[in-house]
Structure 1
Amino acid sequence: MIVRIMGEGQWKLADSHFVELNKLDDELLEEMEGGDEDGFRRTLGALLGAVRRLGTPLPDDALEPSELILPAPESSLEEVREMLSDGGLIPG
């Protein structure tokens, strides 16, 4: 799976990491629905950190189609809300 973090680049992750990312995505969705700004910041950072930690960065000149696009770390709660599907940032 190729994941893009807006403003940073792309990472290649094994599909086996999807479970961990989806758990963080569920937490993020709950915090957004509850208006928990601090929790949102913490969990967004954890989600992006997991992508960086578990994935292999692609070269800056690589233009692979991203299967998942995540917001930049400085994105506001409202900006991320606009990116959401019914199931959060990560489908499934």
Structure 2
Amino acid sequence: MIVRIMGEGQVKLDDGHLTELNKLDDELLREVESGDEQGFRRTLGSLLEAVRRLGTPLPDDSLEPSQLILPSPDASLEEVRDMLSDDGLIPG
């Protein structure tokens, strides 16, 4: 799966890591829904760090179609709320 972090680039991520990422995504969804800004900041950072750690960066000149787009680390709670679906940022 190709994941884009807005403002950073793309990483190739093995689908086997989705379970771990979905746990963080579920937590992020709860924090956005409750308006927990501090928890949101912490969990968004953890989610993006996990994607960076588990994924393999693609070259900057690579233009692969992204199956998943994640917000930038400095995205606001409201911006992320607009990106969310019923499943959160990560489907499944």
Give the alignment's TM-score, normalised by structure 1.
Answer: 0.98
Structure 1: which amino acid aligns with 2:35?
G
Query: Which whole-Å CA distance do the structure 2 matches of 1:83 and 1:27 have between them?
Result: 15
1:78 aligns with 2:63: no
What is the DSSP-based 3-state SS (H/G/I as helix, E as strand, rest coil) of the residue aligned with 2:3? strand
Unaligned 5+ segments in structure 2 are none
1:42 aligns with 2:42: yes
The residue number in structure 1 matching 2:32 is: 32
Structure 1 runs (4+) greater than 4 angstroms displaced = none
Structure 1: which amino acid aligns with 2:74?
E
Unaligned 5+ segments in structure 1 are none
What is the DSSP-based 3-state SS (H/G/I as helix, E as strand, rest coil) of the residue aligned with 1:69? strand
Could you tell me how far 1:29 is from its partner in structure 2? 0.3
What is the DSSP-based 3-state SS (H/G/I as helix, E as strand, rest coil) of the residue aligned with 2:69? strand
Give the alignment's TM-score, normalised by structure 2.
Answer: 0.98
Could you tell me how far 1:34 is from its partner in structure 2? 1.0
Could you tell me how far 1:19 is from its partner in structure 2? 0.4
Question: Percent identity between the aligned chains?
Answer: 80
Query: Which whole-Å CA distance do the structure 1 matches of 2:15 and 2:87 have between them?
Result: 18
What is the DSSP-based 3-state SS (H/G/I as helix, E as strand, rest coil) of the residue aligned with 2:74? coil
The residue number in structure 2 matching 1:88 is: 88
The residue number in structure 1 matching 2:55 is: 55
Structure 1: which amino acid aligns with 2:60?
D
Structure 2: which amino acid aligns with 1:82?
D
